Amino acid sequence: MEKPLILVTNDDGITAPGLRALVSYMREIGDVIVVAPDSPQSGMGHAITLDSTLYSKKMQVDLSHTGTEEYSCSGTPADCVKLGLQELLDRKPDICVSGINHGSNSSINVIYSGTMSAAIEAGIEGVPAIGFSLCDYNWEADFSPAEKYIKNIVKEALINGIPNGVVLNVNIPKLPKKDLKGIKVCRQAKANWKEKFDKRTNPMGKDYYWLTGEFELLDKGEDTDEWALANGFISVVPTQFDLTAHHAIQDINNWNLK
């Protein structure tokens, strides 16, 4: 039988250690093709490139990964998936995995995440997809404690399939292997960012701003991704890209709309 074809992408860039780790893990499961940004694209959400050209370059980042096709892309994470599916792959992948992101994409962070937007783009195109993130922003982060869990999640997704219209958002706590308690399938916690802008002035007298803020957890539930991560579990949230608020349709229909 043909090995499963696995499309690997991310938002931290094709040379990011998290992506290099994910490529290594996926090579043990199937044939891998990488299409990833040529530079960091964190926080890009589901942006796509419309007003400029896209470039792609075939390359080999890791000499130990012989036999794995890799392409850098000048666009966003969503661009990478679009370009990969439409132009660079010779057949539809069996699954798309995005990450491993340097930093959490739990709770409200999923809205801004380039990592998850790449996975969601694959899901929109009918490809089963999973986004992986480690709650550690350090470029030298250790991804190995979660290796067996990542492989298991991907294998189970290949065997069982992922429901149509659903993409898995997987977040991994920053813990040594011995302290990881397992996996929790849960819901996205209600949270927000209490944002502020750090206003500064450059030497030419022109004002500029740095966005800063604090994460506010607004949810005390014990069935959420934030609870799972705080208690040593890897969180798996089934995420949908149909943004319709179905429960509100009847309420809006009761308005006096003319």
Confidence of residue 1 (pLDDT cuts 50, 70, 90): low
The 10s digit of each residue's pLDDT in 179-211 is: 999 999 999 999 999 988 999 999 999 999 998
User: 26 near 154, Cβ under 8 Å?
Assistant: yes
The rounded percent of the chain whose pLDDT value lies above 90 is 88
Residue 179 lies in a domain: yes
Residue 33 lies in a domain: yes
Is residue 130 domain-resident? yes
Report the C-alpha gap between 178 and 78 in whole angstroms: 35
- 185 class by beta-carbon count within 10 Å (0-12 exposed, 13-18 middle, 19+ buried): middle
Three-state secondary structure readout of 191-247: EEEEEEEEEEECCCCCEEEEEEEEEEECCCCCCEHHHHHHCCEEEEEEEECCCCCHH
Task: Evaluate whether residue 253 is within a structural domain.
Answer: no
Q: What is the CATH number of the domain that holds 90?
A: 3.40.1210.10
245, exposed or middle or buried, with CB in 10 Å at 0-12, 13-18, 19+?
exposed
Domain span holding position 103: 5-188+222-244
**pTM for this prediction:** 0.93
42 is known to lie in a ligand binding site: yes
38 annotated as belonging to a binding site for a ligand:
no
Domain-embedded: residue 123: yes
| 37 vs 62, residue with greater confidence | 37
How large a percentage of the chain has pLDDT more than 70?
A: 100
Contact 191, 219 (CB under 8 A): yes
Look at residues 215, 35, 29 and name the one whose alpha carbon lies nearest to residue 135.
215
Q: Is 12 annotated as a binding residue?
A: yes
pLDDT digits (tens, 9 = 90+) for 53-107: 999 999 988 877 778 999 999 999 999 999 999 999 999 999 999 999 999 999 9
**Is 253 annotated as contributing to ligand binding?**
no
Say how many domains are in the chain: 1
Position 62 scores a pLDDT of 83
Question: 180: Cβ–Cβ under 8 A, 6 or more apart, which residues?
Answer: 145, 146, 149, 172, 173, 232, 233, 234
Query: Residue 63 falls within a domain, yes or no?
Result: yes
Is it the case that residue 28 has pLDDT exceeding 80?
A: yes
Confidence grade of residue 212 (pLDDT, cut at 50, 70, 90): confident
